[in-house]
Amino acid sequence: ILYCGSFNIFWSNQLLVFYSTIVVSSYSNSYKLVTVLLQLVVSCQPLVVTQTRTFC
């Protein structure tokens, strides 16, 4: 249950960041901000995946 919960939270956060990035890029042309957000997501992914595997 703990693994499934963390897995669902992981994908929920991914979708949230994905849509947030689209909204930000749609309402403002600040590509620098979008780039920073994407870099943060990419840098945080390994940590989240490692934690998820720990629950396995």
The three-state secondary structure class of 56 is coil
User: Is residue 1's pLDDT more than 50?
Assistant: no
Structure tokens at 20: 């947030």
* Whole-angstrom distance, CA of residue 11 vs CA of residue 51: 13
pLDDT band at residue 56 using 50, 70 and 90 as cut-offs: very low
pLDDT confidence of residue 54:
53
What is the pLDDT averaged over residues 43-55? 57
Residues 2-45: tens digit of each pLDDT: 555 565 667 677 778 888 877 776 666 666 777 777 787 777 56
* Whole-angstrom distance, CA of residue 21 vs CA of residue 34: 6
**Which residue do the tokens 């490692």 mark?**
50
Stated as kind and residue range, the H or E segment containing 22 is: helix 2-27
Spans of all domains in the chain: 2-55
pLDDT confidence of residue 32:
74
φ, ψ of residue 25 to 5 degrees: the values are: -70, -25
